[in-house]
Amino acid sequence: MSLRRLAFLQWFGLLAGGLTWFAAFLAGAGTSVALCNPASGRWGIPYDTVQAALLGLGGAVVLLAEAAAVAVFRATRTVAEQDPPPEGRLHFFAIGAMVGNLVFLVIIVLSAVATIVDRACHQA
């Protein structure tokens, strides 16, 4: 695999998980606000469906990012983290991306399940 392709996969694997979680969080919070706002109550927002779609889309992107990180890790498995760039950097970031993407996947799944199971609007 070319160095340019590995670099693209490395950055996708490193950044996609966190950005996807952040986007899913904002979309879920916006959906909750829209659902619980009395003025938008007549819109008929399917809250559970939106949350399940965010879970599916977010999970798919994070799994793609994990696959990209694993591909970079496998391509640079003979390189040590302390080796000079770009090979050492690719290997080091691939390890961090693999761990980070698993964490972001767990966060996305747990938050989606919690919002689907619990009521969306609580009155004080």
Q: List pLDDT tens digits, range 13-43.
A: 999 999 999 999 999 999 888 888 877 777 7
In a domain? residue 123: no
In a domain? residue 63: yes
pLDDT (mean) for 64-81: 91
Distance of CA 12 to the CA centre of its chain: 11
In a domain? residue 11: yes
Show the domain range for 52. Answer: 3-117
pTM over 0.85: yes
Q: What angle do CA 30, 34, 35 make, to 5 degrees?
A: 115
Q: Give the per-residue pLDDT at 63.
A: 97
Q: List pLDDT tens digits, range 92-123.
A: 999 999 999 999 999 999 999 998 898 777 66
Number of structural domains, the chain? 1
In a domain? residue 124: no
**How does DSSP assign 43-110, residue by residue?**
G---HHHHHHHHHHHHHHHHHHHHHHHHHHHHHTTTS-TTSPTTHHHHHHHHHHHHHHHHHHHHHHHH
- Specify the 3-state DSSP secondary structure of 34: helix
More confident residue, 36 or 9: 9
Hey, what are 67's tokens?
């696959």
**pLDDT above 90: residue 85:** no
Query: Exposure pattern of 62-71 as b/e (b: 16+ CB <10 Å)?
Result: bebbbebbbb
In a domain? residue 122: no
